[in-house]
Amino acid sequence: MRVLATEPGRAAGPPRRAVRGAVCALAAAALTLPLLGAAPSEDRLPNTARLQQAFTAAAAAYDVPRSVLLGVSYLQSRWDAHGGAPSVTGGYGPMHLTDARTALATASDHHGEGTEDPRGDDARPPLRPEARAPRTAELPARLTTLPRAARLTGLSPERLREDPAANVAGGAALLAEAQRRLGEPPSEDPADWYGAVALFSGADDTASAAAYAHEVYEVIRAGEARVTDAGQRLVLDARPELVPDTSGLERAGLRTASASGTECPRTVSCEWIPAPYEEFGDGDYGNHDLGNRPASQPIRYIVVHDTEGAWEGVLDMVQDPTYVSWQYSLRSTDGHIAQHVKAKDVAWHAGNWYVNAGSIGLEHEGFLAEPDAWYTEAMYRSSARLVKYLAGKYGIPLDRQHILGHDTVPGPTSATIPGMHTDPGPYWDWAHYFELLGRPFEATAGKNAGVVTIRPDYAANRPVFTGCGSAGEPCATHGSSAVRLYSDHDETSPLIRDAGLGTAPTTGVNDLSSRVSTGQQYAVAGRWGDWTAIWYLGQKAWFRNPGKQPTAVPAKGLVVTPREGLDSVPVYGRAYPEKEAYPEGVPAQAVSPLPYTLPKGQKYVTGGKVPGEYYYAVTFDEASHRVVTGKDLYYEIQFGHRVGFVRAADVTVKPS
């Protein structure tokens, strides 16, 4: 007989089977009761404790254990309200209640827009994908939980979006409704809510729902405490002994999704939805290339994207042979993963063939209800589990020169630089992501070290951006991983200019010319009071770095500088072999420098040495595919916001 693990301070009731009939009759009525407000003493509560009280009040009003409500909310938003701004899938508030109608209306074709060729291989004609995500008026249930919560609580959609306490009440009502759907009575025992938590995820298959519920119960067992983006301090006491009753999920009626064929860790929900390798038209084919990695060439990078499209539409596009491809898609609401391309094969995703040939691409679901909004904790955690697994399997270092954002992939040639993509953008929380990867960005050297790791406080760091909704219009105030760079130690001085873009720098949300990102490392070029200078795009670039609230931490690392006798060395967007390395039948690829140089006296942090390498794969018949490896070696460097490459023969490598 199982002993009821009740919430602290609440008495255990009679066994749940004995009370089912009496309680179920009351459940439906309770679901429609609006949250009447917090306890009478709310006005005397510190402002920083009011959200905690809202969780207590909502738990009591809807007979949901407070720990369950807090655990679900943490996995959705880490208890942040984001000032009422929606997530990338139109989710609002601490409970991530979704209302994605606006998002669907503004969804775009992520890979089809702009001028970037997703393959990035100039041995072939540029690929210009034309597939479009289907538009449908019928949104899946997981993207319409806010209207449902409004019906259950009697609260207006506006209040559920804008009032965190009301939002918490809406989440509690949805959990209570899920418990009723499963034929379960309300219970004070958190262990009895596993099935309801699984349904709250919005997943339509058992494995995804179970993975989500498992993650919530991991949060409850471990406990959490943090100050939210609105300055609210919340605490979830650890319950390490808690063992959920998983039997309720059997009655949920969800479909069974097979993980057969996937390359995923067991700790995530994963299914195989293959991208086609097919011929079509006049000898053309898509939408990826077959390979034999890592036997033929190493997998060096993982590239983080966001889809800018809804899950269902994105899956349709990646199954179109005329479109492009990536290895994995991740769903926002529950972190579910679909794999499309085997790790051994080369997907067309990053806009740089050298990077594509040595990388795995991850697309994170996001269509923009309010452009450049926030990402869910469920997706962060699932992504981190996948990346940690892949990095361990293929020996990929867990740092920002190998775990790349799409926005840090360099243009392979000068002409491609302006058209390169800028996702996942300044609102992806790299610090939190790397904490989940087990590699937090910490100081590794003394105060006056020659290298710094960019690490602002995400919530407090709120640079001004424009152009989220329309050109020139300010974006909503938001925590950010990005730090702006100036030409002098003064915020009135000009922004750093990127010669490759050929335009004046701006504060536009997609303008990368004068900003760095959390986790990136740079060589120190100078200090002035609260300001630090770094070497960046061949220039001395300054950012505010006050001692009491530092924007960067000191670090150790290897740096490259031009070898003795050279005034400058060229920077490349890809590390291709020398002409003599190409065998007969494989056209030599140009080793063309970008419009940048690394001048004498400047230093740049290196992510390591790589060979000159080119994967020749321009036909459907893989018999003609070749990996060409030259004698020339290169160093990958953090040159600007994006990485770059310099020839090893041109530089000297030194400890910072």
Which residue type, as a one-letter code, is found at position 180?
A: R
CATH 2.60.40 fits 16-100+139-251, yes or no: no
Domain map (residue ranges) of the chain:
16-100+139-251, 259-426, 451-542, 562-655
Judged against a pLDDT cut of 70, whether residue 513 lies above it is answered with yes
How far is Cα of residue 406 from the mean position of the Cα atoms in its chain? 11
Q: Look up tokens 């009040």; give the residue.
A: 57
Name which of 100-114, 158-172, 497-511, 630-644 the model is least confident about.
Answer: 100-114
**CA proximity to 425, closest of 396, 467, 471:** 467
pTM for the model stands at 0.92
**CA proximity to 293, closest of 285, 284, 302:** 302
Q: Are 614 and 576 in contact (CB under 8 A)?
A: yes
Give me the DSSP letters along 336-371. Answer: -EEE-S-TTSEES-SS-HHHHHTEEEEEEP---SSS
3-state secondary structure of 532: strand
Tell me which architecture the domain covering 259-426 has in CATH. 3-Layer(aba) Sandwich (3.40)
Alpha-carbon gap, residue 53 to 356, rounded angstroms? 49
Alpha-carbon gap, residue 162 to 373, rounded angstroms? 15
Name which of 20-29, 299-308, 314-323, 596-605 the model is least confident about.
Answer: 20-29
Q: Are 361 and 403 in contact (CB under 8 A)?
A: no
Alpha-carbon gap, residue 11 to 174, rounded angstroms? 24
**CA proximity to 323, closest of 273, 366, 274, 276:** 276
Judged against a pLDDT cut of 80, whether residue 60 lies above it is answered with yes
**CA proximity to 243, closest of 283, 312, 191:** 191
Name which of 1-15, 68-82, 135-149, 386-400 the model is least confident about.
Answer: 1-15
Judged against a pLDDT cut of 50, whether residue 212 lies above it is answered with yes
Alpha-carbon gap, residue 106 to 104, rounded angstroms? 5
Q: Say if residue 287 is preceded by a cis peptide, omega within 30 of 0.
A: yes
- Angstrom CA distances, 50 to 56, 73, 173, 290, 647, stand at 10, 15, 19, 56, 57
Which residue type, as a one-letter code, is found at position 195?
A: G
Q: ∠ at Cα 393 (387, 399), nearest 5°?
A: 45
Residue 533's beta-bridge partner residues? 526, 542
Whole-number pLDDT of residue 23 = 34
Alpha-carbon gap, residue 451 to 520, rounded angstroms? 10
Alpha-carbon gap, residue 487 to 11, rounded angstroms? 64
| Percent of residues, the chain, with pLDDT higher than 90 | 79
What confidence tens digit (pLDDT) does each residue in 253-303 have? 999 988 999 999 999 999 999 999 999 987 789 999 999 999 999 999 999
Whole-number pLDDT of residue 101 = 77
What confidence tens digit (pLDDT) does each residue in 553-606 have? 999 999 999 999 999 999 999 999 999 999 999 999 999 999 999 999 999 999
Whole-number pLDDT of residue 30 = 39
Judged against a pLDDT cut of 80, whether residue 205 lies above it is answered with yes
Whole-number pLDDT of residue 113 = 58
Mean pLDDT of the chain: 90
Alpha-carbon gap, residue 212 to 204, rounded angstroms? 12
Residues 6+ apart with CB under 8 A from 576: 354, 589, 590, 591, 612, 613, 614, 630
What confidence tens digit (pLDDT) does each residue in 106-150 have? 555 566 555 789 999 999 988 877 655 555 557 889 999 999 999
Whole-number pLDDT of residue 353 = 98
Whole-number pLDDT of residue 109 = 56
Q: Are 373 and 82 in contact (CB under 8 A)?
A: yes
* Tokens describing residue 453: 């790791």
Whole-number pLDDT of residue 33 = 42
* Tokens describing residue 622: 């893989």
Name which of 207-211, 372-376, 444-448, 483-487 the model is least confident about.
Answer: 372-376
